[in-house]
Structure 1
Amino acid sequence: MKTVFVHVRHWLFWYGVYGFCDKSCSDEITLYTDEKKINFLGYFDLLTQPCLINLLNNELDKIEDKEFCSEIEEFINGNLDVGYSYIYPKDEEDISHQVTHSVPMNNNGHKPTYIYVWSKLSKVWDTSSIEKIVKIIANDFFLLNIEKVQFLEIPTYEETKVSYQRDYEPYIQK
């Protein structure tokens, strides 16, 4: 049995899972082959279609980010349920931050430094939707047929509530 271990980088995901706020539609994850986080596979930024629509309508500059906006629009209007967008090295320093796994290279023969995963499979992220996308990512980038996805460092309800009340709730406009 092949297992991939997932670390979700931000508390906002867990706030939504435990019902303190709406579930998130954008999360960052890191994948490992072991529970101790020694054998790193890769990291990914997960965005659902509603998140992408929000980016287009409210956050991106359609002139400055023209190419990225165009990619998003093509995905939204296309037939794929999962798509990828890559950030490639912009300078010599970035070259040392290329991903190590299997990915498309750019015209300069460089691998990306960061990967966005776009999904129409769910409107928000929860544990089951992340399990589903991790299996797809594992197959697409690592040629792994994953049977089990295990989350690392799952905070308890109480830990999440304390974090939410301390770090998030005070900044919510009511």
Structure 2
Amino acid sequence: MTNIQTIYVKVRHWLFWYGVYGLFSKSRNDEITLYSDENQANFLGYFEITTVASLVNLLKYDMDIIGDDKEYCDEIESFIHGDEDIHYSYIYPRGIEDVDDQVPHSAPLNIDGYKPVYIYMWSRLSQSWDLDEIRKSVKIIARDFLDLNADHIEFIDVPSYEETKLSYERDFKPYINE
């Protein structure tokens, strides 16, 4: 395993920052992008991290997102009721047009010899995401897929409280039932 000083993390969703700043409940599902440099020139990987609570909610309320993918639902149910702390779920190329989108790092191959185009990390280690919980998950992902042992995890493109509150008030709060 290679030692690396720092992995830089960019969190995609505003909901994460709403939770960090206490404007809304902490998120349970986020997309993260990892870089080896603060300038985001050296891409390491892209992952979705999801808690058990989010998976339960997905099965209970958001079946329209999953559709009729019984195998995927069974995989979620198996994780929810199993004893694994971490589980990875993969989306593989669905056709030749997706082959160029395979992840650039280490990942399991499917029966056609392709790496996934998308990786989900399902975690029982946290009930929701905050800065520390994402740091812990990134260290696990770095070990499992990048063969890296990171000393530090730093967040990049972190919005200020003022920016986050403005986004919350403008883009989110009007659409929630209180």
Q: Percent identity?
A: 56
For 1:11, the equivalent position in structure 2 comes to 14
Q: Map residues 1-80 of structure 1 onto 2, 5 A cutoff.
A: 2-60=5-63, 64-80=68-84
Taking structure 1 as the reference length, the TM-score comes to 0.96
Partner of 1:131: 135
Return the structure number with greater strand share. Answer: 2
The 10-residue stretch of structure 1 (57-66 or 10-19) with the greater mean CA deviation from structure 2 = 57-66
Residues 1:83 and 2:90 aligned together: no
In structure 2, the CA distance between the partners of 1:63 and 1:161, relative to structure 1 (3 Å rule), is closer
Q: Distance in 2 between matches of 1:172 and 1:100?
A: 38
- Count residues with an aligned counterpart: 174
- Structure 2 distance, partners of 1:128, 1:79, is 23
Indicate the RMSD between aligned Cα atoms, in angstroms: 1.3
> Which amino acid in the other structure matches residue 135 of structure 1?
K
- Contiguous gaps of at least 5 residues in structure 1: none
Distance 1:57 1:136 in 2: 28
Which residue type is aligned with residue 76 of structure 1?
A: I
TM-score (norm 2): 0.94
Which runs of structure 1 show a deviation greater than 2 angstroms over 4 or more consecutive aligned residues?
60-63
